[in-house]
Chains A and B, each alone.
Chain A
Amino acid sequence: MRYIYLWFSFFKISFSKEVEYRMDFLLQCLGYFLWFLFTIIFFKIIYSHVSSIGGWNFYQTLYLIGINQIIIYIYQGLFLRNFSNFSLLVRKGELDHLLLKPIDLQFISTLRNIDIRAFFLLPFPIILIFYSTSHLQLNLSFSSYFLLLFLIFLGLLLRYIIGFFIVIFAIWMGNVSSLSALQNEFLKYAGYPASIYKGASAIIFTYIIPIVLIANLPAGVILGKLKNPAEMVIYTILFTLIVFFLVRIFFYKAIKYYSSASS
């Protein structure tokens, strides 16, 4: 309960900071919208030359892009700022301030900064999803929407773990300019249809570097693109849980390393 209350106060602080600069706010929203737009343009042009990419037609791909973008925006809104600030936090020694607080360190260091712009953009991918749904003649029951929401949540959690895992390197390296670039690469390519990977690459990108599980799992389950959806969902749940705790242990080790190495 205390943590929910705390999160709301983070939210309030972030919100009042943003309201100060209204025009910048709009500009930055536009900035976040760009890559979404570029991805749609990219696939629109590709599909003007071919009718299918690995069995996915244009509207199915749009659906996937929509799902991925929802995850991206929520991820940006809740976590990304905290992650991109992390190496700075370590470098400037601001982490010390957080270490002094009687709050779970993972909670405060990864949820402190909320980027509310990203939430304002959520309607766009949702519209895209409804638009493509109407072209795909999907008849979805109430329960499948519920399933979709759950899978999106799972994808988001997985995304958080991957992002957090990348960030922990910062504690060892100090100056990690490639870090945010790496974050972006993961965000970008999760929205490509899973069927582009074949053989060994399919296994690698599904089970080891699970780019595929983030957005392709929700979209694939709903669109019936997966051979064995139930097993995949169970695998993802287990993978997410186990890695979550491993990353948490890894994080505290890194913090221990940080506090013994710095002066």
Chain B
Amino acid sequence: MSIIKVEKLTKIYKSHISKPGVLSTIKSIIKPNYVTVKALKEISFSVTKGEMVAYVGPNGAGKTTTSKILSGILYPTSGRVSVMGYIPWKRENNYLSQITFIMGQKTQLWWDIAPMETFLLNKSIYKISESDFEKTLDELTTLLDVKDLVHIPVRKLSLGERMKMELISSLLHKPKVLFLDEPTIGLDLLSQEAIRKFILEYNKSYNATIILTSHYIKDIEIADRIILLYRGEIIFDGNKEEILERFIKKRLVTVTFNTMPEIAKIPYNIISREGQTIEVEIEHKEISKFISFVFKSFDVKDVKNQDMNLEDAIKEGFKNASLY
């Protein structure tokens, strides 16, 4: 059952060309000058309950715009969106109480006071009962290992600790749909790891639907499904295996022989040769044919199939898209 349905969603930004100065400001209020930018071009997709989807795309591809429309911060130029049956940009309280939007670069925490105060504020905003609050807070702080830090002023926390607090304050009301916008940006490796683990854990134990955007491949890897956005269009939508299949056309296979055959007898593209070892570049679909060929024809000691790399696949995908 799909919890998010997006049909032909289009977002066109009209941005002002504003010149400095009051006179031109007044002019632009009366007769604005616009440039239009198509941020999203008729994209459609749907997400089932409990699924974790990663939006991937270069800066300006429309990832954040999509999340902002789905969370009600922006309204679209055209298209239909339904999240849990609500139309997001109507911003009904019932809807807002069931979602959250976590931005890695903008904080909702109160800078000079303890994170606990922000938690308590959110407790009353979302009308969380005392017992639920205690229970959820305990679970979340335990999961993120920040139990002792909730009473320390935010400004004294490290960036990683702050992000953990940000997550807690955004999840106290147990939202069913989470929008995470670059949640690990600028964090050290250990904090990144902890946050990833936590997101995955949260996804599993609460059966929460998560839409995640990130530029870090490790964040993307935890998602069930990847949507590649390029210049406002979806160029790929599927899981990790599918993306590899689709975009990794050629792979490197390393073959080590016991007795070195004549190179000319191998009708494939050999990239390098070193002693008894050669590297061969091969079309994805011909790999099994190649392997059976070398084993049949030669005295082979070892065949190594290079790992398929998600990062390369994604890069390849964008490179292909940029050609059109």
Identify whether the interface residues of A are mostly helix, strand, loop, or mixed: helix
- B262 on interface, CB distance cutoff 8 Å: no
Complex: chain A residue closest to B26, CB-CB: A23
The reply to whether B22 and A24 form a contact with Cβ atoms under 8 Å apart is yes
The reply to whether B112 and A21 form a contact with Cβ atoms under 8 Å apart is no
> Min CB distance, B273 to chain A, in Å?
52
Q: Interface range on chain A: under 10, 10 to 19, 20 to 34, or 35 or more?
A: under 10
Chain A contacts for B112, CB-based, 8 A: 175
Provide the bound-state CA to CA distance between A24 and B24, in Å: 11
- A20 on interface, CB distance cutoff 8 Å: yes
Provide the bound-state CA to CA distance between A104 and B23, in Å: 42
- B275 on interface, CB distance cutoff 8 Å: no
Complex: chain A residue closest to B22, CB-CB: A23
The B246-292 residues at the A interface (CB cut-off 8 A) are: none
Provide the bound-state CA to CA distance between A20 and B20, in Å: 8
- A22 on interface, CB distance cutoff 8 Å: yes
- A27 on interface, CB distance cutoff 8 Å: yes
Complex: chain B residue closest to A20, CB-CB: B20
The A64-105 residues at the B interface (CB cut-off 8 A) are: none
Chain A contacts for B22, CB-based, 8 A: 23-24, 27
Complex: chain B residue closest to A21, CB-CB: B20
> Min CB distance, B296 to chain A, in Å?
65
> Min CB distance, B109 to chain A, in Å?
16
Chain B contacts for A20, CB-based, 8 A: 20
Provide the bound-state CA to CA distance between A22 and B20, in Å: 8
Provide the bound-state CA to CA distance between A226 and B20, in Å: 50
Complex: chain A residue closest to B111, CB-CB: A175
0/1 interface trace, chain B 24-38, chain A, CB 8 Å (1 if under): 100000000000000
> Min CB distance, A29 to chain B, in Å?
13
Provide the bound-state CA to CA distance between A21 and B21, in Å: 6
Provide the bound-state CA to CA distance between A23 and B26, in Å: 12
Complex: chain A residue closest to B21, CB-CB: A23
Chain A contacts for B24, CB-based, 8 A: 23
Chain B contacts for A22, CB-based, 8 A: 21
> Min CB distance, A88 to chain B, in Å?
14
The A169-216 residues at the B interface (CB cut-off 8 A) are: 175
Chain A contacts for B20, CB-based, 8 A: 20-21, 23-24
0/1 interface trace, chain A 13-40, chain B, CB 8 Å (1 if under): 0000000111110010000000000000
Provide the bound-state CA to CA distance between A21 and B112, in Å: 35
Provide the bound-state CA to CA distance between A22 and B112, in Å: 38
Provide the bound-state CA to CA distance between A96 and B24, in Å: 38
Enumerate 14 A-B pairs (CB-CB under 8 Å) in ascending A order: A20-B20, A21-B20, A21-B21, A22-B21, A23-B20, A23-B21, A23-B22, A23-B23, A23-B24, A24-B20, A24-B21, A24-B22, A27-B22, A175-B112
**B interface vs A, CB < 8 Å?**
20-24, 112
A20-B20, A23-B23, A23-B24 given. 9 additional CB < 8 A pairs? A21-B20, A21-B21, A23-B20, A23-B21, A23-B22, A24-B20, A24-B22, A27-B22, A175-B112
